[in-house]
């Protein structure tokens, strides 16, 4: 799916389509892209030392690094978990300089947060998680999604 093909049906200012998204999927969609993007919305998680982490890939060392840092850090556990469980939405994709509005990034961040919230509650029904969208001032960079366990 090439962005220019669907860009003419997209309104940047409010991150909406001018025709039904299902029509666009039928015309431009690709199941391989759907599977690729599903990893953003329904990631895998791993538990280390009682904490739940995003599993980025098989070689991801964030959870192990957390375990090492946790022994020497004075940072509260929730804050420490959140720092390891953050995804910068603006850096997930190549930058499209034709997009002049933050609306796309904001809307996508909230969709990701909703999906993570649902997945975490289904995978860990006895636990409670806080999933948040951070604006660039809070994250120090771009719109981000983060989570930590509420204890």
Q: For residue 18, with 0-12 CB atoms within 10 Å meaning exposed, 13-18 middle and 19 or more buried, which class applies?
A: exposed
Q: Tokens in use for 4?
A: 């220019």
Is 4 part of a structural domain of the chain?
no
Is 68 part of a structural domain of the chain?
yes
pLDDT for the residue 100: 60
Task: Flag whether pLDDT at 88 surpasses 70.
Answer: yes
Is 76 part of a structural domain of the chain?
yes
Within the chain, residue ranges assigned H as helices are 3-7, 21-28, 31-41, 62-72, 77-84, 103-123, 136-139
Structural domain for 122, as ranges = 42-150
Determine the average pLDDT of the residues in 31-60.
89
Is 130 part of a structural domain of the chain?
yes
Stated pTM of the model? 0.87
Is 34 part of a structural domain of the chain?
no
Q: How far apart are the first and last CA of the chain?
A: 43
Give the pLDDT confidence of 33-47 residue by residue, as tens digits.
999 999 999 999 999
Confidence of residue 120 (pLDDT cuts 50, 70, 90): very high
Give the pLDDT confidence of 101-119 residue by residue, as tens digits.
789 999 999 999 999 999 9
Name the residue with tokens 């997209």: 10
Task: Flag whether pLDDT at 8 surpasses 80.
Answer: yes
Count of the separate structural domains present in the chain? 1
């Amino acid at each position: 799916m090439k962005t220019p093909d669907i860009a003419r049906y997209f309104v940047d200012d409010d991150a909406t389509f001018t025709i039904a998204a299902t029509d666009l999927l039928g015309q431009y969609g690709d199941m391989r892209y759907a599977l690729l993007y599903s990893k953003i919305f329904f990631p895998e998680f791993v538990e280390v030392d009682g904490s739940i982490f995003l599993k980025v890939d098989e070689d991801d060392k964030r959870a192990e690094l957390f375990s090492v840092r946790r022994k020497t850090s004075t940072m509260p556990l929730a804050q420490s978990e959140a720092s390891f469980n953050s995804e910068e939405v603006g850096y997930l994709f190549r930058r499209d300089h034709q997009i002049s509005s933050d609306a796309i990034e904001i809307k996508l961040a909230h969709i990701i947060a909703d999906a993570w919230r649902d997945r975490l509650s289904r995978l860990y029904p006895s636990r409670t998680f806080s999933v948040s969208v951070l604006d660039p001032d809070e994250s120090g960079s771009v719109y981000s999604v983060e989570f930590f366990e509420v204890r």
